[in-house]
């Protein structure tokens, strides 16, 4: 890899880590301290947690248009600035309403971040190295989650200081992106979306509803863990915040295993990886509330969840790209949008169930949602041969051996 490609990968990994790992998911880690300071009920905490996902849904729809109009460099810098503004607002929030707005703003950065990085990699990294570049950038989510844990140690009980530090990190990332992202004009960007006669294929594809249901179900199931796992460790397990921080770090480290999703899909098949990984997620949810006083069980639950979540996002990425071989941006955006929709549903639902029925009932119910989602299956033949423009069908079939061994080659791999 040349120096330009390395700079892009470093800046892109930092943006994904800052937006997803810090601006979006760190809320669950610092929630216990926030609840004490701001005075949040479990239901309100769940509603606020869903704000980050609402922001993502809004931004992912707008981001593609922004990239086409302004280019990837400007959009990526904007994502870092939005993350900085949102996290700075979190650090000074003293009321639930203001906190909700700040979390929503911070979460918006995640939707803005993914499309410009996908575009930048496809245009600035040589084709044989795009899969590796995308995989490294994709790991930014896990790294961001892992980094937030030590910050929580250093700022014990001081979540405002932690978020202020996160905001400064995002500002530094904006500067790095400004000098590292490639310059491109709107014509270059829009040209990448044209196929054959200049018109991309339609949005409707065979089995797309199955992908939508699967991604939504996984997002719903994961929301309970992201938002309330630290609460469970403190409340049911009677551990201290340091233990919750260690579990959070473990989630991030274990998530690096998710980078193997492509290789496992090539070896075992998408359906097999999808179903067994959802079983692992269900197990992580159950273990946390069935053995909350066992440190081994808590850490095992955290590791299972981190690996399963990142692995599943990789599965839905490959699934989406196979459905939309001619429109990889849609293949990326649709499943991750639906994961966020599931999290919007799941976070307040988890808060309600915790308030009314308790942590154990809630997490067992959400583990059943994960198991039910495993029933959704991917139809390889239909997705590869139908719904694709005729001029692309032959080319896609000719490259099937390459795409099966390098499933990330077709587009981008960023977390939702």
Radius of gyration of the chain (CA): 20
Query: How does pLDDT run along the chain (416 residues), one tens digit per residue?
Result: 788 888 888 999 999 999 988 998 888 888 888 888 888 888 888 888 777 778 888 888 788 678 767 888 999 999 999 999 999 999 999 888 899 999 999 989 988 988 788 778 777 877 667 656 766 777 788 888 888 888 887 877 789 999 999 999 999 999 999 988 877 654 454 555 445 444 555 666 778 899 999 999 999 999 999 989 999 999 999 999 889 989 989 998 998 887 777 778 878 988 999 999 999 999 999 999 999 999 999 999 999 999 999 889 888 877 887 787 676 667 777 888 899 899 889 999 999 999 999 999 999 999 999 999 998 876 654 444 444 454 444 444 444 333 333 333 333 333 44
pLDDT confidence of residue 150: 86
Contact 24, 49 (CB under 8 A): no
pLDDT confidence of residue 411: 36
* Residues 282, 284, 289: CA angle, nearest 5 degrees: 105
Report d(CA 366, CA 364) in Å as an integer. 5
pLDDT confidence of residue 46: 84
CA distances from 217 to 56, 161, 341, 370, 382 (A): 17, 35, 9, 7, 22
Report d(CA 111, CA 114) in Å as an integer. 6
pLDDT confidence of residue 39: 83
């Amino acid at each position: 890899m040349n120096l330009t490609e390395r700079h892009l990968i470093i800046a892109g990994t930092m943006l994904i880590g800052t937006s997803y790992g810090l601006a979006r998911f760190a809320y669950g880690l610092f929630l216990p301290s926030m609840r004490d300071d701001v005075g949040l009920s479990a239901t309100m905490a769940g509603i606020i947690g869903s704000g980050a996902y609402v922001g993502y849904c809004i931004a992912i729809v707008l981001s593609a248009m922004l990239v086409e109009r302004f280019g990837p460099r400007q959009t990526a810098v904007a994502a870092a600035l939005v993350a900085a503004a949102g996290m700075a607002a979190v650090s000074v929030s003293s009321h639930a309403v203001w906190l909700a707005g700040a979390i929503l703003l911070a979460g918006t950065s995640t939707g803005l971040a993914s499309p410009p990085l996908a575009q930048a990699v496809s245009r600035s990294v040589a084709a044989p190295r795009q899969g590796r570049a995308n995989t490294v950038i994709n790991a930014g989510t896990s790294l961001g989650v892992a980094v937030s844990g030590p910050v929580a140690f250093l700022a014990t009980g001081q979540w405002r200081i932690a978020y202020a530090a996160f905001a400064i990190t995002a500002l530094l990332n904006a500067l790095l992106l400004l000098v590292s992202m490639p310059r491109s004009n709107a014509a270059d960007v829009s040209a990448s979306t044209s196929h054959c006669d200049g018109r991309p294929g339609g949005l409707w594809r065979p089995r797309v509803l199955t992908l939508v249901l699967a991604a939504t179900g996984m997002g719903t199931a994961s929301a309970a863990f992201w938002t309330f796992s630290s609460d469970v460790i403190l409340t049911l397990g009677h551990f201290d915040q340091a233990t919750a921080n260690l579990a959070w770090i473990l989630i991030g480290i274990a998530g690096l295993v998710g980078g193997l999703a492509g290789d496992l899909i090539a070896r075992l098949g998408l359906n097999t990886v999808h179903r067994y990984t959802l079983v692992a997620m269900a197990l992580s949810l159950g273990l946390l509330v069935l053995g909350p006083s066992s440190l081994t069980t808590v850490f095992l639950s955290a590791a299972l969840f981190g690996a399963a979540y990142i692995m599943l996002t990789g599965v839905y990425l490959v699934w989406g790209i196979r459905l939309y071989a001619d429109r990889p941006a849609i293949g990326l955006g649709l499943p991750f949008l639906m994961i966020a929709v599931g999290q919007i549903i799941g976070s307040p639902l988890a808060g309600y169930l915790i308030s009314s029925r308790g942590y154990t009932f809630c997490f067992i119910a959400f583990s059943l949602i994960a198991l039910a989602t495993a029933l959704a299956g991917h139809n390889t033949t239909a997705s590869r041969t139908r719904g694709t423009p005729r001029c692309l069908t032959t080319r896609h079939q000719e490259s099937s051996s390459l795409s099966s061994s390098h499933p990330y080659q077709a587009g981008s791999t960023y977390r939702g």
